[in-house]
Amino acid sequence: MSKKKVVVSACLLGEICRYDGKIKKVDKVLKLYKEYEIIPFCPEAPLFGTPRERINMVKIDGENRIITDIGNIDVTKLLEDEIYSFIEKNQNIDAIVLKSKSPSCGLGTTPIVDKNRQIIGYGDGIATKFFKKYHKTIEIKDEMLL
C-alpha cells in the first residue's frame, strides 16, 4: 500500500530556505509524520533565492498584498503562480503542516501591516489561503499546533 503524503514547509524540515538563511528545523514534524511520504514546500526560495529581502503582508485598499520590505515591490502574483503550480502537481495529499508567522505559510499568525509597516492584525499567509481553497477537507496545522 502506498504511504500517506504530507506537505511540510521546507524550513521546518531543516532546509535553508528562509529569507535570513537561518535554520528553523522542528524535529517533531519528522517524528509525527515518520510513516508519511514528506513533500517539502517553499514558494519563496525558488522565486527569490536564499537569503533574500524580507516580504510583508500589507493591507492596501482593503486587500492583502505581498510586498518586499525595502524595494516595495508587489510580488503577490509571482507567489500565487508558484503556489498554484505546486498545488496542481501535488493534488493527492493527506496532511499539511506549515510554518507559523510567515507571509506565505502562516496559519492565522501572519502579521498584516499597514503602509508604514505597523501591525494591524493577523491572518493566513498567501499559500495557506490557497491550501484552504483547494484542499477543503484536509486539516492544516502549523508547527505550534502539533
Select the residue interacting with ligand SF4 from 104, 109, 110, 128 (CB under 6 A).
104
Select the residue interacting with ligand SF4 from 17, 66, 107, 126 (CB under 6 A).
17
List beta partners, residue 55.
68
Q: How far apart (Å, rounded) are the C-alpha atoms in residues 128 and 23?
A: 21
Asked if residue 123 binds ligand SF4 (CB under 6 A), the reply is no
Asked if residue 109 binds ligand SF4 (CB under 6 A), the reply is no
Asked if residue 75 binds ligand SF4 (CB under 6 A), the reply is no
Q: Which is nearer to ligand SF4, 50 or 61 (CB)?
A: 50
CA-wise closest residue to 143 among 79, 83, 85, 98: 98
C-alpha angle with apex 100: 98 to 104, nearest 5 degrees?
Answer: 70
Asked if residue 105 binds ligand SF4 (CB under 6 A), the reply is yes
Residue 78 carries which side chain, given as an amino acid letter? L
Asked if residue 9 binds ligand SF4 (CB under 6 A), the reply is yes
List beta partners, residue 111.
122
Asked if residue 26 binds ligand SF4 (CB under 6 A), the reply is no
74, three cell numbers: 508587489
Find the shortest distance in angstroms from Cβ 79 to ligand SF4. Answer: 9
